[in-house]
Amino acid sequence: MKPKLPKPTKPPKAPKKTALDKQIEDVGSKFWKKQADRAWSDLIHTWYISCAICDHTCSGPLNAHHVINKAKLATRHDPKCGCLLCRGHHIFSVDLSAHVASLAFAEWLQINRPRQWAWASEHKNDPNPEKPDYKAAMEHLIQLKSDYLSKH
């Protein structure tokens, strides 16, 4: 009788990738989009210290606001597209807020921040990228913040 040979062992299967692992691999995923959004907001909060409209007279939390709607992916993570606003001037004031009284805000921006207005006017119709690289956007924003902080 022949001696029984051990069965060949199969190499271990690689563990299945989790949904998070798959998102981390995809530079255009919601995971990286959220990370880039946070990095953009953090940079805007670093660059500006008070509400663009009322300067130091407002109280409460400050919000980073996209001058061009953030649904526009071509400019979503461009720091030139941002300004810092108090909650009143961001969403609550019926007289002058970026979301409730957007025409008044646009007029204010044109008068008080003409360079940013000109930039927004020039870039409002930029085509969206086919496949955005949110990871690269996040890394770029973190580097901009680091460069800014090292100079100030």
How many angstroms separate the CA atoms of 63 and 97, rounded?
Answer: 12
User: Considering the domain boundaries, does residue 130 fall inside one?
Assistant: no
Instruction: Please indicate, yes or no, if residue 64 is contained in any of the structural domains.
Output: yes
> What is the rounded distance in angstroms from the CA atom of residue 76 to the CA atom of residue 33?
10
The structural domain count of the chain equals 1
Q: Which domain holds residue 107?
A: 48-123
Identify whether 141 is part of a domain: no
Q: Is residue 142 part of a domain?
A: no
CA 148 to chain centre: 17
Q: What is the DSSP string of 33-92?
A: HHHHHHHHHHHHHHH--SBTTTBTS--S-EEEEESS-TT-TTTTT-GGGEEEEEHIIIII
Looking at the predicted structure, is the pLDDT value of residue 4 above 90?
no
What would the pLDDT profile of 109-119 be if each residue is shown by its tens digit? 999 999 999 99
Residue 69 inside a domain? The answer is yes
Predicted pLDDT at 5: 74
Q: What is the pTM of this model?
A: 0.85
Tokens 């007029």 belong to 107
Write the pLDDT tens digit of every residue in 51-102.
Answer: 999 887 777 899 999 999 999 999 999 999 999 999 999 999 999 999 999 9
**Beta-carbon neighbour count of residue 120 at 10 Å?**
19
Cross-strand pairs, 84:
64
